[in-house]
Amino acid sequence: MSRLPAYRATIRPLTLRGTLCVLAAALAATPAFAAGDLEAGRKKARMCQVCHGLDGIGKNPDVPNLAGESPQYITRQLKAFRSGERTHAQMSIIAKGLSDEDIANVATYYSKIKVEVTLP
């Protein structure tokens, strides 16, 4: 049975350390998403219900469902509409009036809606 060269024994701890450093850097670079207030989000979502519904299900085929969507995704999209990075005739106007707290609350509310999929 052949014996592994001595340098192989030093690669594992260095690789593990390097992997941990990369993971720590990735976590540090990930934007933090504050958990919003569920009840405040429900109240603020009333202005969204015409298109997205209070149940988070889009009311026409062009409107995305928000129910059960990740709060990070909803937050990112609302901030993109607010900044002008993403544009839509209605959403750009609506998002401009939302504070960071409003966005966190709405994202929390829609993300907490449970969605059940049934197949025929």
Q: Is the pLDDT of residue 14 over 70?
A: no
Q: Which residues contact 2 (CB under 8 A, 6 or more apart)?
A: none
In-domain check, residue 78: yes
Total tally of structural domains belonging to the chain: 1
In a domain, 27, yes or no: no
Inside any domain, residue 95: yes
Q: Read off the pLDDT band of 102 (50, 70, 90).
A: very high
Per-residue pLDDT, 29: 42
Convert the pLDDT of each residue in 16-52 to its tens digit. Answer: 565 555 555 554 444 445 689 999 999 999 999 999 9
Contacts with 106 (C-beta within 8 Å, 6 or more apart), sequence order: 36, 41, 44, 45, 48, 74, 78, 98
Q: Residue 117: its pLDDT value, please?
A: 86
Q: What is the pTM of this model?
A: 0.70
Which CATH number is 71's domain given? 1.10.760.10
Quote the domain boundaries for residue 49: 38-112
**68 close to 97: Cβ distance less than 8 angstroms:** no
Q: Is residue 7 part of a domain?
A: no
Residue 103 — pLDDT band, cuts 50, 70, 90? very high
Residue 4 predicted with pLDDT over 50: yes
The string of pLDDT tens digits covering residues 47-81 is 999 999 989 999 999 999 999 999 999 999 999 99
Average pLDDT over every residue of 3-22: 54
